[in-house]
Amino acid sequence: MQKKNLPPFKIRCSAIGQIMTNPRSKSESLSKTAMSYCEAWLKEQIYNRKREFTNKYVIKGLVVEDHSIDIIARQLGYGMLFKNEQSFENDYLTGTPDIITKDTVLDAKSSWDVFTFPLFETEANSDYVWQGYGYMNLAGKTKYKVCYVLTDTPDHLIEKEMRSYAYNFGYEYDDLKYSEFLKRMTYQDIDEKDRIKVFSFEYDQKKIDQVEQRVLECREYVNYLINKL
C-alpha cells in the first residue's frame, strides 16, 4: 500500500475515554481498546472514509437535542440556551461541545427511556467525564455539566419502535396499540424537574496532562502501524 502524508493523531473529546482505558499488563502503554481506536482512526485517514456508528439511542439523541437543551435551560435557570456549532482543535484534541456559556460547558445526553435515565446514579459515566475535561480544555472554560434529560420520543421514532417490536416478537403491526407505546415513550405526566439529572465537575489540568501523554503514546502506535504497511 502506498504511504502518504497523514495528519498527526488527535483524539475526539467524545472518544477520550476509549484511549484512557488502562492496559491489562504494566508492560504495555496502550489497552486493546485504545489500540483498536487507533487502528480505526488510521483506516479513516488512509481510505478517506469516516467511521459511522448509530443506533436508536443515538438517533433519538440527535432528533430531540433542541428539546433537551430547552429543558436544561429552564431547569438550570439559564432562561435560554443555544446549541454551539463551533468546533475546536488544539495539538491533541478536537471537539464540538453542545453548549457553551461564560464559564461552563454543558453537554446534553437524551435518555432513551425511563430505564436508561440514571435516576439513582451518583456520578456520570466515565466516558462523559473524560469528554468534559477535553471540552473544557478546548473551550477555555473551568466548569462542566453533563445533563441527562428524559425527553419525549417523537412520533416517527415511536412508530419505528412499534414496527421493530412487531417484527422481533412475531406480531402484526396493526395488532399493536399505539397508545401503549406512546405512554411508554413520552413523559408529559412527569414533572419536568424529575426528568433531568445533572453531574458537575471542574477543570483539572492533571487530567489533561494524562490525556496529552496518552495521545503521544497513540501517535507512537500509529507510526508503528504505518511502518508495517
Query: pLDDT value at position 150?
Result: 98
Contact predicate 24/34, CB 8 Å: no
Classify 105 as helix, strand or coil. strand
Mean pLDDT value across residues 5-32: 92
Where do we find the cell 484511549?
19
Average pLDDT over residues 6-20: 96
Looking at residue 154, what is its pLDDT? 97
pLDDT at 3: 58
Q: Taking residues 164-177, report their average pLDDT.
A: 94
Distance CA 81, CA 10 (A): 29
Domain range 56-152+187-208, CATH class = alpha beta
pLDDT band per the 50, 70, 90 thresholds, residue 229: confident
Task: Identify the pLDDT of residue 2.
Answer: 53
Greater confidence, 175 or 1? 175
Residues 6+ apart with CB under 8 A from 152: 64, 67, 185, 186, 187, 188
**Domain residues of the chain, as ranges?**
56-152+187-208
- Place 26 in a pLDDT band, splitting at 50, 70 and 90: confident
Q: Would you say residue 24 has pLDDT above 90? A: no
* 77 pLDDT higher than 90: yes
Percentage above 90 pLDDT, the chain? 90
Using 50, 70 and 90 to split pLDDT, how confident is the model at 29? Answer: confident
Q: What is the pLDDT of residue 86?
A: 96
Q: Residues 107-156: pLDDT tens digits?
A: 999 999 999 999 999 999 999 999 999 999 999 999 999 999 999 999 99
Return the axis-axis angle of helices 178-185 and 155-169, rounded to nearest 10°. 120
Q: Which amino acid is residue 199, in one-letter code?
A: F
Q: What percent of the chain is modeled with pLDDT above 70?
A: 98
Task: Determine the average pLDDT of the residues in 35-54.
Answer: 93
Strand pairing class (88-89; 104-110):
unpaired
Over residues 177-199, the pLDDT tens digits come to 999 999 999 999 999 999 999 99
The confidence score (pLDDT) of residue 1 equals 54
